[in-house]
Structure 1
Amino acid sequence: MSAPPDVRPACSDETQTVASVLTDAFVDEAGLNYWLRQGDAKTAVRRRFFNAAVGDVIHKERELWLAQADGAPAGAAIWLKPGDHAFAFTPLQQLLTTPLFISIAGFEGMKRAQELGAALNSHHPKQKHAHLVFLGVAPSAQGRGVGSAILKQTLAPLDARGVTAYLECTAERNAALYKRHGFEVTGEFDFPGLHFWTMTRAPRPV
């Protein structure tokens, strides 16, 4: 990578690029693999999930970010604005999305997802906060500062507005990255074969 990554909001015609980056970045992510179908279907269902995630499945007003390096997609992120909640479905939305979740998780996986979602929801800060739902770096660009570049670019406007940031992660190395950018561990919990850190970042003075 010869130049620093260029991080910016994704354009309307780049949603599938964001989905592709996240699909590749999250191949070994424990939280998703806990409830998504595994085996031969693993890649296809992960792709189907992120194709839906960049639409309105997470939230209709989700914010998509894209990092490019040397002209190629290098990383991506999905943020929610303060007051917005991931997967907060109305009864109608829940009905409409059920076929998708059955196809990518199965009935047992849906049960795991619901239990995991309840645990995650209980760890959110009480005050309004922006939620970093997903941040992923393309395998070919990992270890080159792309994740840090995305965090710097996306946290700066939150600091300017005095907004708290929140995220969850399942890898100790990722928790260490977030700590370097001002996040603090505010909760931890376990599921079978899975450990979660929940992390909160107070806005920094501009």
Structure 2
Amino acid sequence: MGVAIRAADEGDRELVVRLLDEAFQDDPVSSWVFPGEEHRRATHHRLMAAFTDIVLAEGRIDVTEDGTACALWLSVPAAGHAQGADGAGEDAVRLREAVDPANDRVERIARLLAESHPVDHAHEYLWMIGVAPGHQGGGLGTTLIRHVLDRCDRERLPAYLEASSTRSTRLYERLGFAFTDRTLDLPDGPPMWPMWREPR
């Protein structure tokens, strides 16, 4: 598939936030974090903006040249997420205060993801991938992910992600990811599927 991909910069921030907001509005995990549709429509973009800012500062965002899809990646060194419960907890509190101060689910999911993240091996972490609703199912997500996985294979780096739906796990399995054997279960909410990929 001939799709041009480039690295996003600060000038792409609003594009990336909009893509993620549109792509994840009806996602099971987003629906759990923001349980009312009206509240989600009004607030969800703030969480996507916080994620975008973190990755612009610390990682890499790839976007398709036509602006219809993006992928957020972090390079995680061995023991890179092992900041301890206090550090993860402080980050989760700051995220909740910045996004939706009265919504403890923002903090709870941030803590859960930080606590469950693998720390034994350096890896590339696919934090999120978003495709504009009118362009989903056309292979853009696969192309964006392969763009980084090809480098992972050359550099002998594993990759990691948390899938938020059974539909997305099937895509990731086709790309070589495997379920790590236990789901991350949100309290009274949907599961997430941690997935790991060894380099090929």
Identify the TM-score tier after normalising by the shorter chain.
0.7 to 0.9
- TM-score normalised to structure 2 length: 0.83
Instruction: Tell me how far 1:87 sits from its aligned partner.
Output: 10
Q: Which residue number in structure 1 is paired with residue 192 of structure 2?
A: 196
Following the alignment from structure 1 to structure 2, what is the Cα–Cα distance between the partners of residues 43 and 85? 31
- 2:25 maps to 1:27: yes
Matched to 2:58, the amino acid is E
- Within 5 Å, give how 1:72-151 maps onto structure 2: 72-83=66-77, 84-85=80-81, 89=87, 97-103=95-101, 106-110=102-106, 112-114=108-110, 116-117=112-113, 121-122=115-116, 124=118, 126-151=120-145
1:55 to 53, 64, 69: 53
Identity between Structure 1 and Structure 2 (%):
26
Following the alignment from structure 1 to structure 2, what is the Cα–Cα distance between the partners of residues 6 and 79? 18
Instruction: Tell me how far 1:181 sits from its aligned partner.
Output: 0.7
Q: Counterpart of 1:17 in 2: which secondary structure?
A: helix
Which aligned segments of 4 or more residues in structure 1 are displaced greater than 6 angstroms? Answer: none
Mean alpha-carbon deviation: is it higher for 179-188 or for 8-17? 8-17
Q: Does the 8 Å CA contact 1:16/1:54 hold for their aligned counterparts?
A: no
In 2 relative to 1, CA 86–13 (structure 1 residues): closer, same or farther, beyond 3 Å? farther
Q: Which residue number in structure 2 is paired with residue 11 of structure 1?
A: 9
Q: What is the number of residues matched between the two proteins?
A: 194
Q: Does the 8 Å CA contact 1:130/1:163 hold for their aligned counterparts?
A: yes
In 2 relative to 1, CA 146–86 (structure 1 residues): closer, same or farther, beyond 3 Å? farther
- TM-score normalised to structure 1 length: 0.80
Q: Structure 1 unaligned segments of length 5 or more: list them.
A: none
Matched to 2:100, the amino acid is I
Q: Structure 2 unaligned segments of length 5 or more: list them.
A: none
- 2:58 maps to 1:64: no
Q: Counterpart of 1:188 in 2: which secondary structure?
A: coil
Following the alignment from structure 2 to structure 1, what is the Cα–Cα distance between the partners of residues 67 and 100? 30
Q: Which structure features the higher share of strand residues?
A: 1
